[in-house]
Structures are given as structure tokens and as C-alpha cells.
Amino acid sequence: MKRSKNSEPQSRPKIAAGLDEKLCSSYDGYRPAEPRTEIDVVKVPENEEEVKRFFELHVVKRKPCKIVGIPEDISVLRKLKPSNIQNVLPREEILTIEKKNEGGFGSGATRLKMSFGQFLSKILNAGEEDLYLTTQYLEDDPNNGDYSTDEEEKDQVLDDDFDTGSITFDNLHDDFDDLQEEEPCGPGSDQSDSLEEQELRIKELYQPPMTNLLDDLPETPKFLDYLIPQQINLWIGAAKAQDDEAEDDKWLSNFDPGDPNGQLGLGRNVPGGGSSSGLHHDHADNLYVPIAGHKRFTLFAPCDAAKMYTVGTIRHLFASGVIDYVADRHAPLWRQLRDDGAITAEVYKTLLDSDTLDPQTKKHYEDFLRLDVQQQLKAAHHKQDHLDPPSFSTIPPCVVHLEDIKNKRVRDSIAESSKKRWPRFFNAHRITVDLKPGEMLYLPTGWFHEVTSYGDDGKEDKNVHVAANYWFIPPTGRDISNVYLDSYWPNDFAITQRALKRMRRHV
């Protein structure tokens, strides 16, 4: 879903009575025992016994942990430091870059199109702190040759050095064309999949510009190779180093208890400097790997979802941590999920071809699919311009970090207004994690997190922060040899594996 500013905060429905208790009872994973809980710190699992122990203590229990060390099989990520990254990834590739909105990133950010080289020049040489490389959304793919379809963004293309002559995706497409000429498809072979689908799957897994590391970076770190990867992403921005003694920022003067946008006039700013992602959760397990700079994660368990005052209306919290929402005016494009994050309607489509379905089950699937189509047709006419993703919290990042505001009078005033607007939030238990290069964070699906990024004031990095991450399909099984309880995701990933095999063999 395209992310933009929510202009209807005052119309959000109140949290249903008993929802907090309902969510707490439906989630059987780990939850912090104390209001301020320390995170587990472990080393990188290196042998079969350690891998199994990590699975049992963290993956099965849905328990975040900080991992000290970087596995050797993904050590190529160390080469992506600001001073070296241009020697590893091509400058010419065109990407979409988020522009800071209301003091932070995430929801509501404008997306600009520019070459990777342009972007690096702006943050490394010009010191710009309002640009951020994040996930490359398919609908925003700048390599489709159409730079003016979005009225909001048609004037946002930067023209200087704008050369698409050697874009990675074009080269990748050429490689697939060569494969098609050299190796005719045969029944039952790995050529039986659509070439277009295989190309798309590689792009979706290795998000640009990580596509260039296809032959150097494994699709799954070895110690988590029982999980199915969903995406590999690169995150780059610039921000000043953390300054705990910094004076209160000027943006605090914008504090307005009557702010019609519902953000108390605070936007996405955070006290003490740094840039914020906004408080939100993902629908995938996360392995986060900082490469340069410093990250502060503030975590809240999925069972505290009702305390997070999400944009969307929560329908269900699964034991796995996956949070499902209601398809309503706050999330008109939402499609119902099951406990492993799969879209229920897409699963039913694959099952309808089975000869073993009884008539009653088949009718249930068909009725569900009919309603799903009707909902999508209805949503197509709904104006999407001012809707944030349902998984975002309406609580400003500043409120998450109230204790960092130096001015006591301002801090107390913001606290008073916040407790009136988001009272349940102040009962949520949190974990704060400081993460630096040489460490990783394992974060199970559904855990709410606000990430504040800080640069490093060293001469080489020039306040630029870099991180990579793996997103994985949420597991639902408790046996390391059977973490997905049916064949839907394994069958789906088999197509991606065939695409990877063909591309790597060709190269």
C-alpha cells in the first residue's frame, strides 16, 4: 500500500472493550515480564546443537534477542560501509528514495527517483539528512521507464546524471532472455516456470540494489536456513551521532494538544537527534544487521497491540505473532491473513484445484473467494491518498521517548496530553536495544518497534548509517524440521529457488 499522511485521526474508532485482554490470551509467545526488560544477548549459533537451541529459545518462543557477531556466510555485508559501498554496488541503478516527512521516515514519506550514485553523493558529500533508502516497492519501480504516472511525484525525478543505460534490472532481464534462447523449456524441468515470474521473484527477494549481490550473499543465513526468506533489504540514511546532552529541539515548540492531525504537533521527531522509523510492526520475522552508524530499537510485544493504537482495526492476533486487520475504511485494501502471514484467499485458490476437497469445503472456499473479489472491487474505488498502513501506530515517536525531553515543563505537558489520548500505551512493557555494527537483532513477526537511526561522526562514514535485513515467512511449527505446517510456502519458495539456481548457473 502506498504510504502517506493520515488526515483522519479524529475519526478513528475507540478500542473495543476487552480487546487488550483478548489479544493477550490469543498470543502464546514471549512477553516482557517487567515494564523495562533487558533483551537476551547470544552469540551466533555455529553448530547443530546451537542452531537447535536458538530455534527453541527464540524462534519457537517468539522471543527477540541481540546476536553478537556476523556469520561468515553473510560477511560480504561488511563491504557495504559508506566509504566502500560504491565499489560494491553500481552507481547507475535508479532507485526510489524516501524524503523525510514531519521529522522522520516510514509512513507519509514522499518517494523520489534518483540514481544510487546521486543519492550517495547527497548524503556523503552534501550531508543531506532528509533522504533514506528503504524497501523498493513494486508499484514504485523506477525502471519501468515511466516517471510521470504519479501526479504527486512526476516533478520529483532528479535530472542530473540521470542515466538508465546500465541499470541492473535491465541487465538481469537480458540474462533471462539469454537463458530462454540457450535452454529451451522442457516438461517438468526448472524451465517450466514463466521467465517473467522468475525474474520478478528474484527482484522481490533481493530488493534493489541488493540484486547485485545475488552471487555473493545467500538468500538465507545458514543458522536460519529452516526459515523461508521473503526479502533482503538495504537501508541507508544520514543523521548526526546521538547526543544525550543535546538541548531540546526547536520542533518541541510546535507542541499543540489540539492538533487536528492527532500528532500533538510533534510529527515524527525524536528528542536527542536521530531519525525515526515511526512505531509499527511487520508481518515477517526479521534479522537486522547494522553495518555503519548506530540504531536504537524500542520493542513492544504483539500482545500489547491494543495499547499501540494502530491505524487499522485489529481483527485477530495469532499465536505466531501475525496481526490481522479488518478491511474497512482505515485499511480498504486489506485482505485477510492466516497465522503464517499468507493471504487466505490466495491459499484457497491453490486448494480449489485439489481432487480431495469435499463439497462443503469447496463451497466455503468459493464463497470466501467471491467475497474477497467483491471487497477488492469495492476498495478499488476508495480514495487511498491519505491512509497509512494499518500496522502503524498513531502514537508519535516523541511520546515513546518522553524521558529524553530535557525541558521538564514541556515534557510534563506532552505526557499529560498523551495519557489522555493514548492511555493504554503507558501500561505496555518495553525492551530497548542499542545495536551497532558487529551485532544483529532477531525480531519475530508482530513485535512493534520504533527505530531511531544515528550516524557515526567518524571522518569516513560522515554520519551515514547503513543496515541490511532479512525478512522471513513467520514459522508456525515447533519442530525445526517442519516449521511450516502445510505446503503453501514451501511450494511457493521452490519456484524462487529454481529462479535462483538458473540465474546463478548462468552467471
List the beta bridge partners of residue 432: 298
What integer pLDDT is reported at residue 369 of this predicted model?
96
* pTM as predicted: 0.88
Q: Tell me the CATH class for 9-166+207-333+382-475.
A: mainly beta
Contact 97, 129 (CB under 8 A): no
Query: What is d(CA 261, CA 284) in angstroms, rounded to the nearest whole number?
Result: 30
Query: What is d(CA 207, CA 233) in angstroms, rounded to the nearest whole number?
Result: 5
The grid cell for 311 is 491505524
What integer pLDDT is reported at residue 361 of this predicted model?
95
Torsion angle, alpha carbons of 451, 222, 79, 229, to 10: -50
What integer pLDDT is reported at residue 198 of this predicted model?
83
Sequence-distant contacts of 72-78: CB under 8 A, at least 24 apart:
73/218, 73/221, 73/222, 74/217, 74/218, 74/221, 74/289, 76/213, 76/216, 76/217, 77/217, 77/289, 77/291, 77/468, 78/291
What integer pLDDT is reported at residue 250 of this predicted model?
85
Handedness of CA 190, 194, 199, 200 (dihedral sign): negative
Cis amide bond preceding 208, omega within 30: no
What integer pLDDT is reported at residue 102 of this predicted model?
73
For 366, list phi and psi in degrees, rounded to 5: -65, -40
- Report how far apart, in Å, the C-alpha atoms of 370 and of each of 24, 146, 361 are: 32, 34, 14
Query: What is d(CA 304, CA 407) in angstroms, rounded to the nearest whole number?
Result: 29
The grid cell for 304 is 500489547
Contact 274, 296 (CB under 8 A): yes
List the beta bridge partners of residue 454: 294
Contact 227, 285 (CB under 8 A): yes
What integer pLDDT is reported at residue 196 of this predicted model?
83
Contact 92, 166 (CB under 8 A): yes
Contact 357, 347 (CB under 8 A): no
Domain boundaries, the chain: 9-166+207-333+382-475, 344-381
pLDDT tens sequence across 89-123: 999 999 999 988 776 776 555 789 999 999 999 99
Report residues of the chain scoring pLDDT below 50: 1-13, 142, 144-170, 173-189
Handedness of CA 76, 81, 86, 89 (dihedral sign): positive
What integer pLDDT is reported at residue 254 of this predicted model?
92
The alpha carbons of the chain give a radius of gyration, in whole angstroms, of 23
Q: Estimate the crossing angle of helix 344-351 against helix 488-506, to 10 degrees.
A: 90
What integer pLDDT is reported at residue 150 of this predicted model?
36
- Bridge-based pairing of strands 40-43 and 65-68 is parallel
